[in-house]
Structure 1
Amino acid sequence: MKEILLTIADTGSEKNIGIGDSVKLVLEEVSTSGYVWEIDGELPEQLKMTQTEYSLKHGNTIGGSGNSILNLQAVEKGCAVLQLKYWQPWNGEASVENRFNISFVIE
């Protein structure tokens, strides 16, 4: 089993992973702006969310940016597309500022 680290630079790519492999997705987020990264649609059944967290970049700076970290594990063979959006949920789809998508082939 291995851990795969992904960032915004990986959007649009395809990764081959194995059952039991971990995926750590690190996306920059300014939570004080109200914008958050959220899964767009459903989490593919081949993946399981194991943990989510937010990590400040520079200590406890007020208004500072940080990283939204999603930890996933491949639990089933198949092809899966993971899609996320960076938005203000209460403002709806018009507030989407960025998107992340990646395809997994799980063997």
Structure 2
Amino acid sequence: MDIHYRADIKGGLLILHPAMGIVISGKVTIGKNLTLVGGNVIGFSTGINNPFIIGNNCSLGANAVIIGPIILEDEIKIGASACVIKNCINKGVTLVGVPAKEINKA
């Protein structure tokens, strides 16, 4: 696991299968209760100074990737092997695919 010491992570980080690997950028602000299944990357494109924020109660399926800077609202579920590269400001949705697209509201 590679979690940068500058990553701003609120309480409740749950990593279900850490042996699959986790990478978290030091540029991200993560809300409460993030669940990572394993094989996840939360990375940052260099040279861009926009905010990189993941809301509360979000989850990433196996091998899901987020490439920031982006803003994700609360209660977002990201499907297995999805790649999120755009903001999602709708609360409680599911994102799937490459690039990830919204499929429903909870």
TM norm. shorter chain > 0.5: no
Q: TM-score range by the shorter chain?
A: under 0.3
Which structure: larger Rg?
Answer: 1
